Structure 1
Amino acid sequence: MKQLTNAEEEIMKILWKLEKANVKAIIEEMPKPKPAYNTVSTIVRILENKGFVDYEKQGKGHVYFPVVKQQDYSNQTINTLVDNYFQGSFKSMVSFFVKKNDISLKEMESILKDINKKD
C-alpha cells in the first residue's frame, strides 16, 4: 500500500467519513479557504490511480468511495512509522511517547486497563 500525501490523506478522511461523495460534497467538508474544484478532482483521480478510491457513474458525474479501509491504512502507516523510526520495535515507540509526553504512572495504568478491556 502506498503512502499518501497530506492533501490525499485529507480527502481520504472525508471519504471515509462520508462513505460516498462527489467532488462538490468533498469540497463542502473541507475547511476554508476551500480548494479549487479542479484541484480536488485531480487529487481524487490520483487516489483512484493509487487504488484507494473507485467511483460509480451518476448522471454526468462520478460518485467516489473508498476502496481501502481507514483501519487498514492506519495500521500500515503505524507499522511504517515503527519500522522507519523505531527499528521495528513497538516497545521503543511506546517508551518514546511516554517519555516525550511525560505520562504519569496513573495514566499508564489507565491505558493498560483500556488495552486489557479490548482483549
Structure 2
Amino acid sequence: MDIRELTKAEEEVMQKLWTLEKAFVKDIIRELPEPKPAYNTVSTIIRILENKGFVGHESFGKSHQYYPLIDRDTYKSFATKKLVSSYFDDSAQNMLSFFLDNKQIDTKELDEIMKILEQAKKK
C-alpha cells in the first residue's frame, strides 16, 4: 500500500485514534484539545482518512466505530523518511547536526543517543 502524507488535522485525528484503538467520532472529539472541532468536521476528516486507506469502520446501526488500518509506527517511519529526505538531504547525520546546532538536544539526551549507538554497533 502506498502511504500518503496526512494534513495537520488528519494527523491529529489519527494520533487520537491510534491511542484509542477503536472509537466513535464523539470519542475522538472528547480527546481533542480545546476549542473542540465540530462533530461534522471530525466526521469529514475520518471519511477522508478512510478514503486514504488509514481508517476502517464497523457499523452499529447508523453509528460507525473507527479503527486504524495503518499503525502508528508505519506512519512514523514514512514521516521520518520524508522529513530526512526533504530537509536533510537523506542524511540522519545532517538531521542530528541540525538538532545539536539548534540546541534541541541536551547533553543528557546526547548521552542516551551515544548509548543506543554503542549498542547498535555491538549487534
TM-score (norm 1): 0.90
Distance 1:112 1:28, change over 3 A: same
Once the two structures are superposed, what CA deviation does each residue of 1:89-110 show, in whole Å capped at 9, x if it has no partner?
Answer: 1111111111111646564233
**Cα distance change of structure 1 residues 107 and 16 upon mapping to structure 2, 3 Å threshold:** closer
Tell me the equivalent position of 2:92. Answer: 90
Provide the secondary structure at the position in 2 that maps to 1:31. Answer: coil
- Cα deviation 1:49-94 (Å, max 9, x = unaligned): 0000010011221000000110010111010011111111111111
Residues matched between the structures, number:
119
User: What percent of counterpart residues are identical?
Assistant: 50
Gap regions ≥5 residues in structure 1: none
- TM-score normalised by the chain length of structure 2: 0.87
From 20, 23, 26, give the equivalent of 1:24: 26
Q: Which of 2, 5, 9 is the matching residue for 1:3?
A: 5
Matches within 5 A, 1:1-119: 1-101=3-103, 103=105, 107-117=109-119
- CA-atom RMSD in angstroms: 1.8
Deviation at 1:112, TM superposition (A): 1.5
Cα gap change, 1:107 to 1:19, in 2 (>3 Å):
closer
Partner amino acid, structure 1, of 2:35? P
Secondary structure of the 2:33 match is coil
CA distance in 1, matches of 2:31, 2:49: 18
- How many Å apart are 1:114 and its aligned residue? 3.8
